[in-house]
A and B are shown apart, each in its own frame.
Chain A
């Protein structure tokens, strides 16, 4: 068991049977009052956020989450298949757990899959991914300074704004934290 002195950002705990991660916390204590640790915790399955105030010294149940490095293989119906890169075991992850991460899932991409009670509950992609442009307006040469952009469709179906000089068929780097174009990649 944890207690409130173990609380830090990233700590994974159980609340009402669900796994949560601590995203923010603060020790508070009125001079003559009870001591508490105020936390903001995020449900690892639904993503919903909760403000929880724990009594100082209160016990918290650790969420036994395990993370495995896996490779994305293919989609089948509403399920996505991943393979453990060390054991070669394959698992299927439901679409709603993948969420927006689907925008970055290209074949053979290495991701981290989070398991809770042996069930996959989340997929984390690298901070930057390289994706190919499958559709966009023809490139305009020389126009690199104005900062003007155009929409481009990537191999995953995700549409991102890119600079005008980018051509269809080229590869680009995308920041998965905000979904923005970073730079062109020579392949």
Chain B
């Protein structure tokens, strides 16, 4: 192991020109302003447990197990929703979440996730509330709604552009969006992409997404990516759009090519929730991945009655990267997994 001194580690400057120590201090201010902003809007902070029984069933998220006890939370979503059933109307949580096998310039297996939920607000109204809040946060922390990110100047002044998934495919990937696997496969190949013959629809969707769409999203202004296809509804409720397609009430926020937040008009029907848990688990088995238990208590709570609400999860590490001009998650963390 490389010998180093803590003072040297904290003094070292990264490509943003700031030292690790300076960034840790800036980040503390950001977190404080984040809490203050939600507090002002009437949200109550919840300490959501890190040690949980059901880590979620998402086919593409691998939890870290704690033998004899359960799992480290991959997000606080299930617990926070139970509190909404219990009567809270505006709540938030800021704390660690854990996802195995995720490490890269935008990923660390332990990261800080912020989630907040607003009862009685539809997801389109919630998007407006969110852009106003995050723009105000940038102003509070950096003194401006225009910040210099590692990818260039980013203007957070609302309103932010809205783009549907279908529009993103057409404008950024130069190919039509399709729910048909073979159609997607041919379009991707016509665009010069190298795609394996055995890729299923979802893999093709995300290949186009990571290669052609995501790098070009939100370069100079944050973008809301709306109207996700039904198979990617996750825990969002669905509706029929103007073209007669079933889409999820889901939006994601991208800025500087970074996925910053994911939000839903939350699914409130217990039976549909059970069906989605089952669909996830079937997909996990099909992919040869371990199947984790769905959260029975969440399903029971939905039966009790989750009021109509919207909720969002945001990566605090990534928000710090954007606000402070950092190109890599390790720039804004006190310790990465490799530094432990």
Residues of A within 8 A of B (CB): 5, 26-36, 38, 50-53, 55-56
**A54 to B: closest C-beta gap in Å:** 9
- In the complex where A29-B102, A30-B210 touch, is A50 in contact with B194 (Cβ < 8 A)? yes
Contact of A36 among B101, B103, B210, B234 (CB under 8 A): B210
In the complex, whether B115 has a CB less than 8 A from a CB of chain A is no
Within 8 A of A (CB), among B141-157: none
Residues in chain A near residue B203, CB distance under 8 A = 34, 55
Within 8 A of A (CB), among B242-292: 252, 259, 262
Residues in chain B near residue A34, CB distance under 8 A = 60, 202-203, 206-207
Q: What 6 pairs across the A-B complex have the smallest Cβ distances? A: A27-B104, A33-B206, A34-B206, A28-B210, A32-B234, A31-B262
* Least CB separation from B228: chain A residue: A32
In the complex, whether B105 has a CB less than 8 A from a CB of chain A is yes
Would you call A29 and B60 a contact (CB within 8 A)?
yes
Would you call A32 and B232 a contact (CB within 8 A)?
yes
| Known contacts A30-B210, A33-B205, A35-B102, then 15 further A-B pairs from the complex at CB < 8 Å, ordered by chain A residue | A27-B103, A28-B210, A28-B214, A29-B102, A30-B209, A31-B313, A32-B262, A33-B209, A34-B60, A34-B206, A34-B207, A35-B101, A38-B210, A52-B194, A53-B211
CA distance in complex: A55, B107 (Å): 16
Contact of B207 among A27, A29, A36 (CB under 8 A): A36
In the complex, whether B227 has a CB less than 8 A from a CB of chain A is no
CA distance in complex: A53, B214 (Å): 14
In the complex, whether B331 has a CB less than 8 A from a CB of chain A is no
Residues in chain B near residue A36, CB distance under 8 A = 206-207, 210
- In the complex where A27-B104, A53-B210 touch, is A33 in contact with B194 (Cβ < 8 A)? no
In the complex, whether B58 has a CB less than 8 A from a CB of chain A is yes
Residues in chain A near residue B259, CB distance under 8 A = 30-31
Can you list 7 A-B contacts with CB-CB less than 8 angstroms, sorted by A residue number?
A: A27-B103, A27-B107, A30-B206, A33-B60, A34-B202, A34-B206, A35-B60
Chain B residues bordering chain A, tally (CB within 8 A): 27
Q: How many A-B residue pairs have CB under 8 A?
A: 62
Contact of B58 among A26, A27, A32, A51 (CB under 8 A): A32
**A97 to B: closest C-beta gap in Å:** 26
Residues in chain B near residue A5, CB distance under 8 A = 101
Residues of B within 8 A of A (CB): 58, 60-61, 101-107, 194, 196, 202-203, 205-207, 209-211, 214, 232, 234, 252, 259, 262, 313
CA distance in complex: A89, B234 (Å): 63
Residues in chain B near residue A53, CB distance under 8 A = 194, 207, 210-211
CA distance in complex: A56, B103 (Å): 11
Residues in chain A near residue B207, CB distance under 8 A = 34, 36, 53
Residues in chain A near residue B101, CB distance under 8 A = 5, 35, 56
Residues in chain B near residue A28, CB distance under 8 A = 104, 106, 210, 214
**A13 to B: closest C-beta gap in Å:** 14
**A14 to B: closest C-beta gap in Å:** 15
Residues in chain B near residue A51, CB distance under 8 A = 194, 211
Residues in chain B near residue A38, CB distance under 8 A = 210-211
Counting chain B CB atoms within 10 Å of each CB, the highest count among A31, A52, A55 belongs to A31
**A109 to B: closest C-beta gap in Å:** 36
Residues in chain B near residue A29, CB distance under 8 A = 60, 102, 104, 107
Residues in chain A near residue B61, CB distance under 8 A = 32
CA distance in complex: A31, B264 (Å): 14
CA distance in complex: A32, B205 (Å): 12
* Least CB separation from A5: chain B residue: B101
CA distance in complex: A35, B102 (Å): 8
CA distance in complex: A35, B100 (Å): 11
* Least CB separation from B103: chain A residue: A27
CA distance in complex: A169, B262 (Å): 69
**A142 to B: closest C-beta gap in Å:** 43
CA distance in complex: A126, B202 (Å): 47
**A31 to B: closest C-beta gap in Å:** 5
CA distance in complex: A30, B202 (Å): 12
Residues in chain B near residue A55, CB distance under 8 A = 196, 203
**B23 to A: closest C-beta gap in Å:** 22
CA distance in complex: A53, B211 (Å): 8
**B261 to A: closest C-beta gap in Å:** 9
